[in-house]
Amino acid sequence: GENVEQHPSTLSVQEGDSAVIKCTYSDSASNYFPWYKQELGKRPQLIIDIRSNVGEKKDQRIAVTLNKTAKHFSLHITETQPEDSAVYFCAASKEGSSNTGKLIFGQGTTLQVKP
Amino acid sequence: DAGVIQSPRHEVTEMGQEVTLRCKPISGHDYLFWYRQTMMRGLELLIYFNNNVPIDDSGMPEDRFSAKMPNASFSTLKIQPSEPRDSAVYFCASSSAGTGFSKAFFGQGTRLTVV
């Protein structure tokens, strides 16, 4: 079945530095790739997403890139701040298929931003 | 909109007891998902519904787990009998075909502890 691998599992950066989290998916039919941020004890919240017809998407300090050929997608956070500290999850799904809506999540990356 | 509402927020029960978790999706959303989150296995999709009909229950761990969606505004996840290994945070999420099938919004979660 579909599998999503996420790396690294933990990431520690200094405030102001950039952070990059990478994911690889197995099903070439996947066409929707969201990223969720989960603060301690809270719900996962969608922060950015990308569809397979786009190679890059930006929203202020965060950006996501997609390489369909290599089946890779990445989250980039620039000018990190302590409030960016959280667990980040990538996910993949196949919209428009019989499995529409079925998100497969990566294992998560714990990001720590040191002041 | 109040978002996805789950109850209870916390549940502590003894092994062997029946546990019922409840979810009210965002009004107008036609997809509803139940996820389980543990340190070991991350975020796992248990089951999801489209227009109140179960579409994929392949993630339900065993027959002790069952889920229902009697109407568009309510769903339950039941565990009977409960076991200590069921201890986890259970999230309900909903999405809409109109805004993107997979763009899921999560509830606050129910933290279940089975002793």
Q: State the CB neighbour count (10 A cutoff) for residue A24.
A: 18
**Could you tell me how many helices (H) and strands (E) chain A has, helices first?**
0, 11
Q: Answer whether residue A102 shows pLDDT above 90.
A: no
Is some CB atom of chain B closer than 8 A to the CB atom of A75?
A: no
Tokens 């579409």, located at residue:
B55
| Tokens encoding A28 | 């070439």
What are residue B92's DSSP bridge partners? Answer: B34
CB within 8 Å: B43 and A49 = no
**Interval B37-45 mean pLDDT:** 90
| Tokens encoding A107 | 């294992």
Tokens 């509830």, located at residue:
B107
CB within 8 Å: A101 and B95 = yes
Confidence of residue A23 (pLDDT cuts 50, 70, 90): very high
For A46-67, what is each residue's pLDDT tens digit? 999 998 888 899 999 999 999 9
CB within 8 Å: A44 and B91 = yes
Supply the pLDDT for residue B103: 80
| Chain B positions with Cβ closer than 8 Å to A | 31, 33, 42-45, 48, 50, 55-56, 91, 95, 100-109
Supply the pLDDT for residue A107: 94
Partners of B100 on chain A (C-beta within 8 Å) are: 32, 49, 95
Confidence of residue A96 (pLDDT cuts 50, 70, 90): confident
Confidence of residue B93 (pLDDT cuts 50, 70, 90): very high
CB within 8 Å: B48 and A105 = no
Q: Are B78 and B86 in contact (CB under 8 A)?
A: no
- Residue in chain A closest to B110 (alpha carbons) equals A43
Q: Are B25 and B3 in contact (CB under 8 A)?
A: no
